[in-house]
Structures are given as C-alpha cells and as structure tokens.
Structure 1
Amino acid sequence: MPTSTPDPRLLSIQDYTYTLPADRIASEPLPNRDQSRLLVYREGHISDQTFQDLPAELPADALLVFNDTKVVQARLFCHKPTGGQVELFCLEPVAPHRAVELAMQQTSGCVWKCLVGNGKRWKSGPVQLVFQAHGQPASLTAERLEATDGYSLIQFRWSPEALTFAEVLRGAGHLPLPPYLNRDDTEADAVRYQTVYASHEGAVAAPTAGLHFSEAVLAALSQRGISTARVTLHVGAGTFQPVKAAHMADHAMHGEPFVVQAAVLRQLLAHQPKPILAVGTTSLRTLESVYWLGVQAAEGHLAVDSIPHVTQWQPYTPGSSLPTADALQALLHYLDTQHLDSLHATTQLLIAPGYHFRVVQGLVTNFHQPESTLLLLVAALLGPDWRRVYEHALTHDYRFLSYGDSSLLLPYKL
C-alpha cells in the first residue's frame, strides 16, 4: 500500500521527475488501437502484456469506468483583412452559456475564453474564417473583447446563423493535438485522437487512456462479464500545463466540468465494496470528486444555487472519514431532492502523494510527462513504486504520452 506524506502542499515537484528522451514520445498512433503494449503492475509485481490482454488481467468482479467525452476541433485559424493569420484555441465557454453541453448547441453567436496565437499582430477589428458546413459555404467572424491573464475573451458570430457552435467547430476547426507532438493534425488524427466510445463533445484534449480500446476489446470485456460505466469529464488544456511552482502549495490546479448520471451513482453504490477501476486519470478524478461532493451533501454544504465544485485542497483539510457508500447515498439524496437525474459539477481536485483513495482501487493509464500533476496522481496510487514502473517502461522500450503505450495499475489485493 502506498506510503503517505503529511501534506501534499509541501511536496516539491522536482521530486517527481525522470528523464524522458525525445525519441520515446510517440508522435503517431499505432496502426491498430489495441496492439499497444500494456505494463501490468499488480501488488508490486510488473509484467509485460499487450492491450488485447487487458480483459483477462482485470479482476472478474471489477467495475470499469470510462470517460466518454469527445474532443472538439478547438483550433481555429482565422485571417485578418490584410491576410495575416491569427490562431484561436477555444478553451471554455463564457456566454450565453458556461455549461459546455449548452454552449456547443448555441446558434448565431457566443463568447469563449481562448488562447490567441500571433495575438500581438492582431491590434483590433474582426478576423474571419471561411469554411464548409454540410456541404454549403459558411463563415465565422471573431472579435476580441478583452485580454487578461494570458487569455482573451472572443466574440464569435457566424453565418448561417442556424448552425450550432459544434457544427461550426466541426467545419472550421482543427484538432488540438498535444503541443509536444510538434505537428499539425491529420485526417488520421480525426479518428485516432478520439476514443471509440466518445459521445459528448466538449474536451480540448483526449482522455488518452481510452484510445487503446477497440470494439474487440470492449466485446471481450462484455464476454468476461466485466461491468462498465461511463462518466463525462471535458478535459481542458490545463492538463498539459507544467507545474512551475517549486512546491505544490503554490500551484493552481485547473478546473474541469464533469457530468455523472444518477444511474451511474447507483451503480457505484451497488458495486461497493467490489473493486472499481478507472480508465484514465480523468475518470479517476471524476470518481474521487463524486466522493467529495457526497461529503459536502452529507454535511449540508452542497450548493443548490450554483454549480457544485470540488476545490483543489478539500481532501487535505481536516475533514471527513465518511464511508464511501454513505457519501454516494448523500449525493443521490441531494439529486432526488433537487429532482435531478444527473450531477453537473466542476472539479479542481489535485491528487498527489498523501491522498487517500475513496472510490477507485486501480487505474488504466498511459505514461505521463515528468513533473506533471498526472504523474503526481500515479505516485499517489503507487507510492514510491511509481519510479520502478517508469524505469521498467523506459528500459523495456515502451512508448510514452498521448499516443504511447498503456499500463494497468493494481496496487492493492483485489
């Protein structure tokens, strides 16, 4: 079982690094999703498999939870009247809706927070992009309303006005590949940088642990009787942000919206105390955030007039030892009293060594960047053995990062 540190705020990010040679970063996906390699860590023992072996490696009574978010084509290459190019990277909606699902269905116009490339050359006035939607000509106009903290608020308007913003992005945008790939997106990425079960548009980065799943692997899970469930967390660009602070107390965790159906909460409750495994760090953060919202509900602190939210440090303040089942029941009671069939919330939860897992007992995940919050999460699950896992992956020619190989991490006896 992982050892704990007294307070993750005291951690130095430099203690969670390793040397990642550039040639170990996978720049392209493999020809077939499920032929990636699979490192299996089981109670301290490491073995080498392929991803097709995953169903046989899982505990027979496990519940496997997927993140079914879908990556949107969030990069827009617009042009000034003089011909110069301005890149807009859509991060999150601002108006008229802040909820991603509603914002994607907005027609005629909207405001989003964006990163702006070549922004210094864009002094004033609108920029434009001409594209095709449903085989017909369309146009998008963008105007900067204000700039602050490295971001800009961008007013978008488009024609035909009946198009939704989701349709605009599908016709006008490009996939936001991770910056470390250092290449433009291709037609192949449009398929391979999505999971086969992606359903809800809103992410600007893929939940990459899910990229290995093929229809054949999903069918094998069903044949083995492995239970599955889906949550939705829209992965934000903050997932790529390096930790620049020397100590974690000075690092501001990015927030991300998520949705969990009441039926899934009931499924999680009914599965107690059998093992629950997360496909990817985003699914894991969602599941653990659900617990902390359940604590808020049990204590009568869950917001009824605003979107429920898990703060970065909630688990690390003197707090609750509420059993997981009780937290889930409290959250279901909250939804019932509010006449809701799904939980819409946001989370800034930072999972780092010292964290005590309440919902998840294992993880399917890729190999993450040095000095990243994703690596901290793995270290929280495995304890000091995270180094042994990464050293094994490096010395046994595993491929790293988004298009890289996978691992199944089972630190406890299940």
Structure 2
Amino acid sequence: MNLADFDYDLPPERIAAEPARPRDAARLLHVARDGLHDRQICDLPSLLRSGDCLVVNDTRVIPAQLQGRRGDARIGITLDRPLADGSWRVLLRNARRARVGETIAIDGADGFSAMVIARSGDGSAVLRFDRDGEAFRAALEQAGALALPPYIPRAHGATARDSTDYQTMFAAREGAVAAPTAGLHFTSALQDALTERGIGLTRVTLHVGAGTFLPVRGEIVTDHRMHAERGEISEAAARTINRARENGGRIVAVGTTSLRVLETASDAAGVIHPWAGETELFILPGYRFRAVDVLLTNFHLPRSTLLMLVAAFAGLECIRTAYAHAIGAGYRFYSYGDACLLEKP
C-alpha cells in the first residue's frame, strides 16, 4: 500500500472552524451495509440497538503548547507524554541549536524552565522541567495553551471558548494533547436518550499524544511507525464490555482512540482484558478487528493514519465513496466537523 492510496481533495471551505451548536446537532453520515444515509448525531439512539455498548475515551486535554527561549531564539514546545523518570517527551519547533544539557526558559510562568535531556532527528526531544507534581500542573495552567490542530484558524491562538469546545463531556483524566474528537458530539440530552433506549456506556482512557499532528512521511505506509500513547482499561470497564458482547450487544467505539485501546487490550477471541500501558498499534487495511463492531468517528485528514484505520474498518472503496458523498453533500470535516457511523462489513 502506498500513501497515495489514502489521498483525496478537500475544498478548504469544508474544514470546520467551530463545532456545531448544540453539539448533537452535527450531521452524521451513516455508512450502513445497505448504503449511505444522511442523519444527525441526535439520531444515534435510533441507529443503535438496545444492548449495544458505547465505549468513550475519558481523557482530558491539557494545555500542552508552550513557548520558550534559548538566548534570542524562540522555541515552540508541544508536550507529548511523561516518561517513567519524570521527564517529558516533547516536539520542538525552531530548535535546531537547542543542544543536550542546555536550558530553555518557558514564557508565562515565573522561573519556569526545562533542560534538554535528549534530541532525536524526527523533531522530538526529552525535557526535564524544573518542577513536578502540583507545581508543574500549576505552571502548565499558567503558561500553556491548547495545542489546537493547525487547520483550525486562530490568529492569536486558542480562545476561551475553545477551552470548553475542545473538551468532551467525558473528560476526566488529564493527559491528552489533542481531543478524542468523536466524543465532542455528545451532550447530556443525547446520553439520556441512549440510556432510555437501553444502550450502555462505559469509559476507557487513551491519552492522545503529539504524534497525532505528525504527517506520514514515507510513501510506503507499512514503513511508518506510530508514536506510543498511554492508556488504560479498568477491570470494571472490561467486565461491562464483555458482558454486553456475551448478551448479544455490539461494541460501539466512540472514536479511533477508543477503538485502538480496545483492540490493544483484546485477545484473539475479542475478549477485553484489564490493561494499562502504552500502545503503538498501527491499523491498516487487512487488519482483523477483534473487539469493535461499530465505529463513530469524525472525517479524517487525507494521507493520515486515522484515514488508514477507518479504511481498514469499513473498506477502502467504501470510505472513498463515503468521503466523496460527504464532500458533495456539504459535510464539515476534521476535529470540529461532522461525523460518520461505520458498520463493520
């Protein structure tokens, strides 16, 4: 498979700059076995069955974008994930001369700084900040900003409204750099309607890392290596999901992040086991899905690993047809855009 197999042309006006209001008023393209159907997110209860189990990601987005200085040079820092020794893996911008052992002064919080511990050729680095625990969180809240995707136009960075728009109603466990965007469509009213329909809901965690913003650079997609992301499935969540499957319900992943953590924690028979750790699971067409029956997800960028995942789930030709329909019908794409409900063939 080549990268060009996952390309498509998207008119710029199809990229959403703001979410739908209310959130469950977003459009929903139902990609069913009998064809394509134009719906809304609020129709979700009627499209699922009693006994189905929705699995949502409860990660909370942190203000992961920092600005620093090394002498006269301005350096951009995007946090990725904490490491076992307390340091952080990050992505750096404009930091060619930032060498191991040097200190970067962080703007926005008094005395906040980080030492460069390691550098990599892919733009990543390891930094050790001058504080940890609650002191680090306080400095991050003061100095950091949301790392909004570059296709969301903001002349002066994320706004106060983005701070709520870019969190799901399930956000509880801090650690994500980017939002699990399928979850952005949910409201309390929608959750109540799902419950009344007899559709269950349980939570897992996958902290979306800065690697989600990085492009696939090689033309041979199987050469790409995913950045590790941290996640967890509790014993209670695993038990709820397995019971739903045993009782004939379908497992509905809300977003590619929920899907990846479920597939990581499942065995060959599709049974979910409690799990905590890091996953580098890269899903391409040909992958055999074990744990997930239905996927609710936004429309993804061309030539991205997420587009490869949905092509693996629904079929590449099916996704090409669905995306062409969505573009022609005026659907809104990417993080603040509309969604599709994919049934596994």
Alignment TM-score, normalising by the size of structure 1? 0.77
Task: Summarize deviations over 1:103-131 as a string: whole Å, max 9, x none.
Answer: xxxxxxxx212222332465744414343
Over aligned residues, Cα RMSD in angstroms? 2.0
Other-structure match for 1:129:
107
Equivalent residue for 1:46?
Answer: 36
Task: State the distance in 2 between where 1:79 and 1:190 align.
Answer: 25
Matched, 1:69 2:59: yes
| Consecutive unaligned residues in structure 2, runs of 5 or more | none
Match of 2:264 in 1: 289
4+ aligned runs moved over 6 Å, structure 1: none
Contact conserved, 2:108 with 2:142, CA < 8 A, in 1? no
Does the residue aligned with 2:151 lie in a helix, a strand or coil? helix
Q: How far apart are 1:182 and its partner, in Å? A: 4.3
Question: Partner residue of 1:193?
Answer: 166
Q: Does 1:178 align with 2:149?
A: yes
Partner of 1:256: 229
Paired amino acid for 1:359: A
For 1:402, the equivalent position in structure 2 comes to 335
How many residues end up aligned between the 2 structures?
A: 337
In structure 1, stretches of 5+ residues that fail to align are 1-10, 98-110, 132-137, 295-321, 332-341
- Change in Cα spacing, 1:15 to 1:122, as seen in structure 2 (3 Å) is closer
Tell me by how many angstroms 1:210 deviates.
0.6
Partners of 2:69 and 2:199 lie apart in 1 by 50
Are the counterparts in 1 of residues 91 and 210 from structure 2 also a CA contact under 8 Å? Answer: no
Using the alignment, how far apart are the partners of 1:247 and 1:283 within structure 2?
26
- Corresponding residue SS for 1:119: coil
Match of 1:324, SS? coil
> Between Structure 1 and Structure 2, whose CA radius of gyration is higher?
1
Matched, 1:16 2:12: no
Deviation at residue 155 of structure 1 after TM alignment: 2.1
Question: Equivalent of 2:93, from 112, 117, 136?
Answer: 117
Contact 2:103 2:113 in 1 (8 A): no
- What's the offset of the Cα at 1:17? 1.4
Offset from partner CA, 1:145-202 (integer Å, 9 cap, x none): 33222222222114xx773433322222100001222431110110000101101011
Identity across the alignment (%): 41
Counterparts in 2 of 1:54 and 1:144: CA distance versus 1, 3 Å: same
Which residue of 220, 223, 228 corresponds with 1:247?
220
The one-letter amino acid paired with 1:180 is: Y
* Inter-CA distance 53–139: structure 2 relative to 1 (3 Å threshold): farther
Give the match for residue 251 of structure 2: 276
Q: TM-score, normalised by structure 2?
A: 0.91
Q: Does 1:169 align with 2:145?
A: no
The answer to whether the Cα contact below 8 Å between 1:76 and 1:89 also exists between their aligned partners in 2 is yes
Who is 1:145 aligned against?
117
1:361 paired to 2:336 = no
Instruction: Kindly indicate whether the alpha-carbon contact (under 8 Å) linking 1:44 and 1:385 is maintained by their aligned counterparts in 2.
Output: no
- Offset of 1:214 from its aligned partner? 1.1
Code of the residue aligned with 2:314 in structure 1: it is L
Partner SS state of residue 130, structure 2: strand
Change (3 A) 1:215 1:85: same
- Asked if structure 2 preserves the Cα contact closer than 8 Å seen for 1:142 and 1:155, the reply is yes
The structural deviation recorded for 1:377 is: 1.2
Q: Label 1:347 to 1:121 Cα distance change in 2 as closer, same or farther (>3 A).
A: closer
Aligned residues of 1:73 and 1:173 also touching (Cα < 8 A): yes
1:393 matched to 2:326? The reply is yes
